[in-house]
């Protein structure tokens, strides 16, 4: 049965707006992987040195004059949460700083890709939400003036690459599916616009996760047709 309770009181929230646009079934009792594709490719190699030298020097922009930020702020107020405990520190890798990790990004065929290593510390989480793609290829925020801008974005793709093996207490929730026990180099493609998701680190060890976003190309469309294809980096 479709959920009728999972809403914020205020309409000035990203969740309420995005959920109305979303085509997800919103029935928490269904067991499925709707909107999720695991391990269409797997990356193999040793990028541990690049991770060890990663500097997490970015957080999500927090300008309360911007629509999306203001809406998220309202969500946190209703939930009684401290945003500093939620949003992970980030690093934007480049070909120069992270050559092996960047080779994974290049393999996708996405146009103008933006990659972010999300370093989620123990105790940090991201509450259930629907994504809004609002950053350019350099990671700079592009202002969103209306939630209609999100509804009509059919040109963007987003997926995750795990950079370390799964540890106890780490999870990624996608719709009615919970991802765990991944291996370094595993991948998850998901329907970013329609699938509610969240992440948390209730463990003891930092969880680095590579998020890749870019413009869909014919090369990308061929790339995601793979199934458990192993790529060496």
The tokens for 75 are: 């969500």
Query: For residue 75, what pLDDT is reported?
Result: 93
Instruction: Report pLDDT for 149.
Output: 63
Question: Which residues of the chain are under the pLDDT cut of 70?
Answer: 61, 64-65, 133-152
Q: Which residues of 154-165 are buried (b: 16+ CB within 10 A; e: fewer)?
A: eebbbbbbbbbe
Residue 85 burial (CB < 10 Å; 0-12/13-18/19+)?
Answer: exposed
> pLDDT tens across 76-103, in order?
999 999 877 777 889 999 999 999 999 9
DSSP state of 97: T
Q: Which domains are seen in the chain, by residue range? A: 35-59+88-232 (2.60.120.10)
pLDDT of residue 181: 97
Q: What local confidence, expressed as pLDDT, does residue 144 receive? A: 61
Tell me the average pLDDT of the chain: 89
> How far apart are alpha carbons 145 and 221 in whole angstroms?
30
Q: What is the pTM of this model?
A: 0.90
């Amino acid at each position: 049965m479709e959920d009728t309770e999972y809403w914020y009181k205020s309409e000035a929230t990203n969740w309420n707006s995005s959920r109305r646009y979303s085509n997800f079934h919103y029935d928490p009792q269904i067991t499925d992987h709707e909107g999720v594709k695991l391990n269409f490719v797997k990356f193999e190699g040793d990028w541990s040195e690049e991770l060890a030298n990663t500097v997490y020097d970015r957080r999500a922009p927090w300008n309360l004059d911007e629509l999306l930020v203001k809406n998220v702020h309202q969500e946190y107020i209703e939930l009684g949460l401290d945003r500093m405990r939620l949003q992970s520190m980030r690093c934007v890798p480049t070909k120069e700083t992270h050559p092996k990790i960047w080779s994974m990004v290049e393999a996708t065929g996405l146009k103008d890709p933006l990659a972010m290593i999300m370093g989620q510390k123990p105790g940090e989480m991201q509450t259930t939400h629907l994504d809004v793609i609002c950053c350019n290829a350099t990671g700079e925020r592009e202002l969103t003036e209306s939630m209609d801008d999100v509804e009509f974005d059919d040109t963007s793709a987003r997926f995750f690459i795990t950079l370390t093996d799964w540890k106890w207490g780490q999870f990624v929730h996608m719709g009615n599916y919970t991802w765990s026990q991944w291996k370094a180099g595993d991948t998850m493609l998901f329907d970013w616009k329609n699938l509610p998701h969240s992440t948390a680190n209730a463990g003891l060890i930092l969880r680095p996760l590579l998020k890749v976003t870019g413009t869909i190309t014919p090369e990308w469309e061929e790339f995601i047709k793979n199934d458990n294809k192993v790529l060496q980096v």
